[in-house]
Structure 1
Amino acid sequence: MEFLTTVAFLLASTSAITRPAPLVSIPSHDGFFDNIAAHCGKAYEGTVTVDNAKGPSSFADKKLVMHVRRCSERELQVPFHVGKDASRTWIITKTGSGLSLKHDHRHKDGTNDVSTMYGGHTIDAGFENVQSFPADQYSKELFVSQGIPQSMGNTWQMYIYPEKFTYRLIRQGREFRVDFDLTKPITPPATPWGYKD
């Protein structure tokens, strides 16, 4: 009898360990996530509306396209195409303590760029239409190792409204912003580098 009790306890414990953690989130994070997920499968063209960097922009005169390509209850994959460059994918993830934004950068052969998976995590509730992602520790260490310590102060922001989606980067002395027109879906672009259909 004692043996059977022990076996039952071990089976129950194993079941608890293998069961996925519950998806816990707060309304403003859920609302923001769901507002983007509502566009799953669609692509939109954007325009740089602010870029105060010195010198010519690498985004100038190029077609800018965001594609809400893959959506699950925990993760959104949103490739950001710059002309023929399909190296960038924004990954928005529910973490159980907020939302994470990562920038997945790949080479054309699918391998990781040396500067990849940087981003940040929400530190407050934000709003259903607006979330901010201050640089996380991994990103700060990556920026220092890449010789761009000024980027440690990065905060990425995303805004989603019925007619417009905005991606914005800010830090002291630097602002970059792209606005996408959500009223005019376009043909989705090719699969981003490093991903498969």
Structure 2
Amino acid sequence: MKKVLKLITSLILATLITACACSSCAPAQDIEDYIGPQQAAFFNNLKSLCGKTFVGETVYPEDPDHDFAGKKLVATVENCGARNIAIPFSVGEDTSRTWVITATYDGLLFKHFHQNPDGSHHDVSFYGGFASDYKGQKGTAYKQYFPADEQTAEMIPAAKTNAWMMEFNPETKELTYYLERHQKPRYKAVLTLQE
């Protein structure tokens, strides 16, 4: 059953990425030519981790009733293509989430793909945004900010002020996933590279 679900997930992701390729993210010779040097460096640094797994936990909020509280978090960098990377993100036994990062002509795009336990497409899925400056901070080769895009605001009105941040620290080997809403902390997870 797990193999079937993984195959279905792969097919859905391939369909979403192909659909994107047919619109604004057709391939170019060098992604730096259309997403800029910092975003390209971030993408390539993540891509260099392909096949690697990170394990960690929620560090904020410290609410024992939070859905992710006390659960093991696992993110594996996989399905690394010329302009897209898929990172399945599991929370305890829940393997319904995948982060998708795509180099498009409009910039680096970060989306959250969700599926139901049976492998079918979840009603609230593929939300996120394009990399850009956030609160005066610019993205770097190891850290990028992704404010919510219009599609996300329409899909989840409460999330229209969301801004996600993803960072890989090459010294500590930690991957940080961070979310703000209304410019205030909402969620943070820190995962460590498993050597």
TM superposition score normalised by structure 1:
0.75
* Contact 2:64/2:70 (8 A) holds in 1: no
Q: Is residue 39–residue 141 contact of structure 2 (8 Å, CA) maintained in 1? A: yes
Matches within 5 A, 1:69-80: 69-80=78-89
| TM-superposition CA deviations, 1:107-153 (whole Å, max 9, x none) | 12221111100001113462101100000001001113xxxx2x211
**SS of the residue 2:151 aligns to:** helix
- Separation of aligned partners in 1, 2:74 and 2:27: 34
Question: Counterpart amino acid of 2:141?
Answer: E
Residue number in structure 2 paired with 1:93: 102
Matches within 5 A, 1:80-119: 80-119=89-128
Q: Choose which of 42, 59, 71 in structure 2 pairs with 1:32.
A: 42
Where does the alignment leave 5 or more consecutive residues of structure 2 unmatched?
1-25
Partner of 2:147: 134
Q: Report the CA distance between 1:21 and its aligned residue.
A: 4.3
1:174 Cα deviation after fit: 3.9
Residue 87 of structure 1 deviates from its aligned partner by 0.4
CA distance in 2, matches of 1:122, 1:21: 18
User: How is 1:115-194 mapped onto 2 (pairs within 5 angstroms)?
Assistant: 115-124=124-133, 126-144=139-157, 149=158, 151-162=159-170, 163-172=173-182, 173-182=184-193, 184-185=194-195
CA distance, structure 2, for counterparts of residue 129 and residue 60 of structure 1: 27
**What is the Cα-based RMSD across aligned positions, in Å?**
1.7
User: Equivalents in 1 of 2:174, 2:61: separation in Å?
Assistant: 18
Give the distance between the partners of 1:139 and 1:31, measured in 2 at CA.
26
| Structure having the higher Rg | 1
Which residue of 2 is the match for residue 41 of structure 1? 51
**Identity percentage over the alignment?**
35
**Counterpart Cα distance in 1 of 2:64 and 2:59:** 16
SS in 1 for 2:116: coil
Superposed counterparts of 1:52-71, under 5 Å: 56-71=65-80
Residue type of the alignment partner of 1:157: M
- 2:72 alignment partner AA: K
TM-score w.r.t. the length of structure 2 is 0.76
Q: Provide runs of 4+ in structure 1 moved above 4 Å.
A: none
- Matched length: 159
Q: Secondary structure at the match of 1:70?
A: coil
- Give, in whole Å, the separation in 2 of the partners of 1:89 and 1:80: 5
Q: Which has the higher contact order (CA 8 A, sep 6+)?
A: 1
Gaps of 5+ in 1: 1-19, 186-197
